[in-house]
């Protein structure tokens, strides 16, 4: 049973039972007590405008009444069954209607699982082992995904750098690392290795970095040339950049997409979506035991997450929702940039109105190394002051939501001004 304690008291308790005193996701000194709409409150009672929104899933805001009603109707009927349920089928049907590449889907419980299985699925389909990923791209916590996610030392491409202990050296040999937004490099890499590559996995919007015009289409063309499975990691961009995700927004269709966050309406749910002939490898009767990809999960497709996702997606289909989300993002982008310009601080607003960040650099931001070489001390202090001033956000992303109000924008404008002034002399 939870008791009323300060954040420092909770931090002391957490350190005794949690490595590093936290869940591994965020600043372990912050304990969020509750969230409503666009706001969250910590255990000391401090109120924030939430620009983290659970790292993306709470696009409608916290506790949306229609989502709560759908969940409340489901809970007395059961929370999970380890069996098919009607809500999960309805949600799958809607995902297949919305997402261009989705002919069929398979549920899992987290985005990291979805990415892991997508890579394995590509290997099962092609009979090849090597995977191309882009330096700085985030694809969960599997051994493959933890190669060159956030390397502190820059090595020559396509060498992979493990970001975690506990990864066998053999994994490195199967990973080819490329710079994002570099057409010439990916062409040369595939000219040498293309016939051994099972998949190219890419965030269409890599963390906050947009693809340059034509880059995603180049990946599509090169994948077709060499018989490679193209995977779009749309855990973040799915149902955010557009209802059909980044593949709708950018007009390029992958073979497989991974989806998460928004499709669960705030509950644990993710999915692999793709062409039926590729997805058939989840069906032993279709492909035979030797080519079958075994996959199961206790909570996969559970009805509580499914009804929350269905209601969230229904709301997102209503007229004007994406226009309003983009307007909200543009307002925040303009506020941040205006505050920094007023202080003469060099910066770039990088990303999409639905997901962006401030990078403290004078140069263009095209790939991970451009972000890595930016002024990280200024970035850290800027974000620290924003949180102090009541803007709750991650150190590397700003997530606008549909729940933002005029009062929230007023608080954000004042917070950006304070943070810009604080870093002007750094």
Which residues are part of the catalytic machinery? 138, 233, 261
Name the residue among 1, 35, 229 with its Cα closest to residue 126: 229
Q: Which two tokens stand for residue 145?
A: 């995904």
Compute φ and ψ for 47, nearest 5 degrees.
Answer: -105, 140
In SS3 terms, 231-259 reads as: EEEECCCECCCECCHHHHHHCCCCCEEEE
Contact 201, 133 (CB under 8 A): yes
* Separation between Cα atoms, residue 260 and residue 235, nearest integer Å: 5
Compute φ and ψ for 16, nearest 5 degrees.
Answer: -75, -25
| Length of the chain, in residues | 426
Contact 48, 33 (CB under 8 A): no
* Separation between Cα atoms, residue 169 and residue 266, nearest integer Å: 36
Kindly list the distances between the CA atom of residue 239 and the CA atoms of 94, 112, 260, 354, 358, in Å, as whole numbers in the listed order: 12, 18, 9, 10, 23
What lies within 8 Å, CB to CB, of 5 at 6+ separation is: 13, 43
* Separation between Cα atoms, residue 316 and residue 223, nearest integer Å: 32
* Separation between Cα atoms, residue 205 and residue 232, nearest integer Å: 10
Name the residue among 212, 231, 45, 28 with its Cα closest to residue 125: 231
Q: Which two tokens stand for residue 223?
A: 């994948």
């Amino acid at each position: 049973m939870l008791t009323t304690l300060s954040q420092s008291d909770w931090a002391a308790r957490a350190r005794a039972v949690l490595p590093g005193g936290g869940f591994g996701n965020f600043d372990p000194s912050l304990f969020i007590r509750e969230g409503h709409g666009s706001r969250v409150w910590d255990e000391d009672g401090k109120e924030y405008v939430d620009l983290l929104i659970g790292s993306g899933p709470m696009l409608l805001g916290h506790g949306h009444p229609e989502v709560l009603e759908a969940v409340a109707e489901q809970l007395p009927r059961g929370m999970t069954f380890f069996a098919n349920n009607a809500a999960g089928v309805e949600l799958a049907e809607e995902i297949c209607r919305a997402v261009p590449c989705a002919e069929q889907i398979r549920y899992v419980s987290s985005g990291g699982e979805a990415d892991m299985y997508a890579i394995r699925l590509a290997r099962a389909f092609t009979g090849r082992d090597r995977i191309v990923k882009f330096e700085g791209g985030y694809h969960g916590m599997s051994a493959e995904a933890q190669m060159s996610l956030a390397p502190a030392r820059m090595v020559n491409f396509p060498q992979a750098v493990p970001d975690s202990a506990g990864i066998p050296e053999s994994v490195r040999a199967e990973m080819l690392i490329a710079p994002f937004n570099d057409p010439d490099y990916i062409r040369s890499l595939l000219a040498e290795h293309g016939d051994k590559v099972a998949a190219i996995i890419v965030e269409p919007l890599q963390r906050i970095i947009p693809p340059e015009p034509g880059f995603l289409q180049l990946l599509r063309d090169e994948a077709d040339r060499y018989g490679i499975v193209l995977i779009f990691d749309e855990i973040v961009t799915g149902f955010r950049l557009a209802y059909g995700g980044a593949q709708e927004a950018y007009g390029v269709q992958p073979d497989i997409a991974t989806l998460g966050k928004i499709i669960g309406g705030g509950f644990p749910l993710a999915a692999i979506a793709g062409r039926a002939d590729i997805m058939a490898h989840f069906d032993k009767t279709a492909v035979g035991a030797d080519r079958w990809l075994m996959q199961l999960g206790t909570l996969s497709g559970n009805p509580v997450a499914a009804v929350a996702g269905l209601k969230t997606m229904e709301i997102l289909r209503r007229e004007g929702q994406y226009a309003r989300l983009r307007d909200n993002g543009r307002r925040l982008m303009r506020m941040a940039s205006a505050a920094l310009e007023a202080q003469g601080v060099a910066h770039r607003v990088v990303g999409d109105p639905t997901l962006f960040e401030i990078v403290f650099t004078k140069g263009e931001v095209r790939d991970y190394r451009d972000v890595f070489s930016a002024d990280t001390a200024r970035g850290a202090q800027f974000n620290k002051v924003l949180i102090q001033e009541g803007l709750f956000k991650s150190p590397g992303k700003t997530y606008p939501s549909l729940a933002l109000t005029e009062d929230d924008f007023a608080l954000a404008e004042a917070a950006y001004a304070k943070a810009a002034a604080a870093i002007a002399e750094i």
